[in-house]
Amino acid sequence: MFGPPGSGKGTQSVTLAEKYNLLHLSTGDMLRAELAAGTELGRKMSAIMAAGELVPDDVVIAMIAQKIDSTTGKAGFIFDGFPRTVEQADALQVMLKERGMKIDLMLVLEVNDAELTDRMKKRALVSGRADDADEAVIKNRIAVYQAKTEPVIEFGRRAGVSRMVDGVGSIDEIFSRLCSQVETII
Site size toward ligand ADP, by CB under 6 A = 18
6 binds ligand ADP (CB under 6 A): yes
| Nearest CB to ligand ADP, comparing residues 31 and 78 | 31
Contact 24, 79 (CB under 8 A): no
| Nearest CB to ligand ADP, comparing residues 55 and 111 | 55
Contact 11, 80 (CB under 8 A): no
Indicate the residue whose CB is closest to ligand ADP: 28
In the complex, least distance from residue 50 CB atom to ligand ADP, rounded to whole angstroms: 8
> Which class for 37: exposed (0-12), middle (13-18), buried (19 or more C-beta within 10 A)?
exposed
49 binds ligand ADP (CB under 6 A): yes
Among 1, 2, 5, 111, binds ligand ADP (CB under 6 A): 5
- Of the candidates 61, 63, 60, 68, the residue with the CA atom closest to the CA atom of residue 23: 68
Interface pattern 70-109 for ligand ADP (x via CB under 6 A) = -----------xx-x---x---------------------
8 binds ligand ADP (CB under 6 A): no
Please list the residues that pair with 165 across neighbouring strands.
109
- Residue 157's identity, in one-letter code, is R
Q: Which segments of the chain does DSSP mark as H helices, in order?
A: 9-20, 27-37, 40-50, 57-69, 86-98, 113-127, 130-133, 135-144, 151-158, 171-183
> Interface with ligand ADP by CB under 6 A: which residues?
5-6, 27-28, 31, 48-49, 52-55, 60, 81-82, 84, 88, 131, 141
